[in-house]
Structure 1
Amino acid sequence: MKKLTKLLALLFLITSFVSIQISLSNAQPPLIDPYSFFHIIPNPDGSITRIKEFYPTVPPNTSSTIAFSRDVPLDPVKKTWVRLYLPNKSEHDFNLPIIVFAHGGGFIILSTATPSVDSFLSNTANKLNVLVVSVEYRLAPEHRLPAAYDDVLDALYWVKENKDEWVSNYGDASRCILMGESVGGNIAYNVGLRASVLTRELQPLVIRGLVLIQPFFGGSNPNRVKYGNLQKMIDFLWHLSLPLGANLNNPYFNPMFGGGSRNLDNIKSLGWRIAIAGCDGDFIFDRQVEVFEFFKKQGVNVIRNFGKGFYHGVFIGNSTKAQELYQFVRNVFSPYITW
């Protein structure tokens, strides 16, 4: 029983990334081996083995009072798929806004089927009364960036094609929002930049904005003295995720690189809203504030919800903070999400 309790506690810490802050903030040199810390094993070909006992998944839910879910192939060649979440409110719910979601996990671990992520998305569908399309994108280092960006963009085209019965029967592609948590926030932002120049190709799908939940952004030298060993762990994730030979200071990692993307002008002219949620107990909160201020100076319609305390991953793991997030999203996107 003690072993099971310990394992369950560890799983929660990993999925919410609370353990990164707690362990590394107290750690003394030498640095914890990142492969052991993330329960992964490096392979000679550059891939990694994820120890399955630490990364459980759950099947779709076909009998829930919160939301139903089902898995649908996205690209059989890439072996990508999506998990759809439909609120269990009424059989007469039609024309629901569509949220295309990207999960967290440092680009290298976790899944939309991870228990905490799956539960969060069921509640998202229910509380916001939306159809959620959560993308099981390819993970690094086997598939380095921009693979994850490509996969979520594929999901936008998949929604646009309107071939799935849930999308066609219940969804309204003209009210689409890109949402992501942690590295998923990074993915949502970078896919949004791409999609901003593809508005004609994506019709009748129309993106109305982005929701970035504690987005995983960085830069060439973000708070290295302040975070010490923690920064080394962050660097480890990025070195496994970025294209081989890429410098840490690049557009994928740092939205402010080179003065920011020119596509921000498209986002501005399209009238998209960017909602950023965070809290100052998050180890990368300072960078999120910098990015918010940068967007604001660029004239982007950006709205923040920054709270006190807590930790990275809190909106996934804490039901009270999740409720605050849902209310924030409803307020920001009130013309498109009604309650």
Structure 2
Amino acid sequence: MASTNNNLYELLNKIPNLTETLHIIPNPDGTVTRPFELYPTVPPSTATAAAAASSPSLSKDVVINSEKSTSVRIFLPRYDSLEKKKEKRRILVYVHGGGFVVASAAHPNFHDFCSYAASQLAALVVSVEYRLAPESRLPAAYDDVVEALKWIKDGKDEWIEEYGDLSSCVMMGDSAGGNIVYHAGLMVAGRVDDFKPLIFKGLVLIQPFFSGLDRTKSELKLANDHVLTLVVCDLCWEISLPVGANRSHEYCDPLNGGGSGLLDCVRELGWRVWVVSCDGDPLYDRSVKLVELMEKRGLNVKSMFCKGGEHGMFVGNPSKYKANELLDFVKDVFV
């Protein structure tokens, strides 16, 4: 293990501009430091009276796998309470962004969005705290989300057992979270019976984080974008993909080889796949091409592509305007 950690430390120290671009600091034990001032966290509403008073939803953290340090943050619409008559709520499993490398379910942007989404959709939102790269390279994050789904279907938590409608589940993620939802969704589709009685309605990919060896027009046009530069994208892939893999890998490029064979399972299950992006996002062209591929493969796919904007605007923007537009779009997935 020490040798592996030393190798990771040496590798990270050889990557130029790692600290300046991703703002992470390699440690000799193979971990990285993610400065709190750059990647802050907030407590769930159940942690303090102040947090509970200011939140549109109740929220709490529950450990999934202590050995892996994975957990979920669950959000329940505020007008529910454990004292009131139980009412089943559709389930929205959310996966946060951060290039597979930074951020968490407890980051203020993602916490606030999930709290708001729970109240607006009248849903039980389960936000997954998955393992990050480079300590845990892909497919670790995919496996963690799949494990969380199994945990949900087993009804091991009081809120899920009492409020969760296992017959109506949607997976949604933004940026790297959109990538994770896509691949975890394919994994689930290939063995969907293993997750019963949890029934999936579809996937929502918000500005999903994909790449490839060939540059797209939107990537070249927005290479120095103030939110997401091409250098940052490439660095994230370099330290997140399996060792020895490049950006042609299926985790990175879903179009390679005509797309995964598991897309046929998604089609046969009748899942809806909703894709959201904007042409001010460097990743825009890849979202368009993914939609085209899924249409060609006969999937029930629908897109919402906006003019202008920027990467992260649907979730990270303090304004509720785009969040409301997104959540209105999401409602149809549950139908």
Give TM class, smaller chain: 0.7 to 0.9
Structure 1 residues 46 and 257, CA, compared in 2 at 3 Å: closer, same or farther? Answer: farther
Q: Any residues of structure 2 matched to 1:150-189 within 5 Å, and which?
A: 150-189=143-182
**Matching residue of 1:216:** 209
**Matching residue of 1:326:** 327
| Structure 1 residue runs without a partner (length 5+) | 1-31
Structure 1 residues 38 and 232, CA, compared in 2 at 3 Å: closer, same or farther? Answer: closer
CA distance in 1, matches of 2:85, 2:122: 12
CA distance in 2, matches of 1:149, 1:95: 27
**Matching residue of 2:308:** 309
CA distance in 1, matches of 2:223, 2:110: 29
CA distance in 1, matches of 2:207, 2:221: 19
TM-score normalised by length of structure 1: 0.86
2:21–2:232 contact (8 Å) kept in structure 1: no
| Structure 2 residue runs without a partner (length 5+) | 1-15, 47-51
Amino acid at match of 1:48: V
In the TM superposition, what is the alpha-carbon distance from 1:140 to its structure 2 partner? 0.2
CA distance in 1, matches of 2:29, 2:287: 35
1:303–1:332 contact (8 Å) kept in structure 2: no
In the TM superposition, what is the alpha-carbon distance from 1:89 to its structure 2 partner? 2.0
**Matching residue of 2:71:** 81
**Matching residue of 2:12:** none
In the TM superposition, what is the alpha-carbon distance from 1:39 to its structure 2 partner? 1.8
Structure 1 residues 76 and 45, CA, compared in 2 at 3 Å: closer, same or farther? Answer: closer
In the TM superposition, what is the alpha-carbon distance from 1:53 to its structure 2 partner? 2.1
Q: Any residues of structure 2 matched to 1:104-143 within 5 Å, and which?
A: 104-143=97-136
In the TM superposition, what is the alpha-carbon distance from 1:45 to its structure 2 partner? 5.0
1:149–1:187 contact (8 Å) kept in structure 2: yes
Amino acid at match of 1:111: S
Residue-by-residue CA offset, 1:214-271 (whole Å, 9 max, x unaligned) = 1111111123644546323211010010011112111100111111111100000000
Q: Which of 137, 148, 156 matches 2:141?
A: 148
2:153–2:166 contact (8 Å) kept in structure 1: yes
In the TM superposition, what is the alpha-carbon distance from 1:44 to its structure 2 partner? 4.1
Q: Which of 94, 104, 109 matches 1:101?
A: 94
* Higher RCO by CA contacts (8 Å cutoff, separation 6 or greater): 1
CA distance in 1, matches of 2:77, 2:311: 27
In the TM superposition, what is the alpha-carbon distance from 1:34 to its structure 2 partner? 3.7
Residue-by-residue CA offset, 1:164-191 (whole Å, 9 max, x unaligned) = 1000000011111111011000000000
CA distance in 2, matches of 1:51, 1:115: 15
Please give the secondary structure, in 1, of the residue aligned with 2:102: coil
1:222–1:287 contact (8 Å) kept in structure 2: no
In the TM superposition, what is the alpha-carbon distance from 1:46 to its structure 2 partner? 4.5
Aligned residues: 304
**Matching residue of 1:67:** 57
1:81–1:135 contact (8 Å) kept in structure 2: yes
In the TM superposition, what is the alpha-carbon distance from 1:280 to its structure 2 partner? 0.9
Q: Which of 10, 14, 27 matches 1:43?
A: 27
2:95–2:178 contact (8 Å) kept in structure 1: yes
In the TM superposition, what is the alpha-carbon distance from 1:33 to its structure 2 partner? 2.4
In the TM superposition, what is the alpha-carbon distance from 1:332 to its structure 2 partner? 3.6
TM-score normalised by length of structure 2: 0.87
How many percent identity over aligned positions?
48
Amino acid at match of 1:89: Y
CA distance in 1, matches of 2:270, 2:247: 31
Structure 1 residues 134 and 225, CA, compared in 2 at 3 Å: closer, same or farther? Answer: closer
In the TM superposition, what is the alpha-carbon distance from 1:202 to its structure 2 partner? 0.6
Residue-by-residue CA offset, 1:65-115 (whole Å, 9 max, x unaligned) = 510000001011111110000001243452111111110011000011001
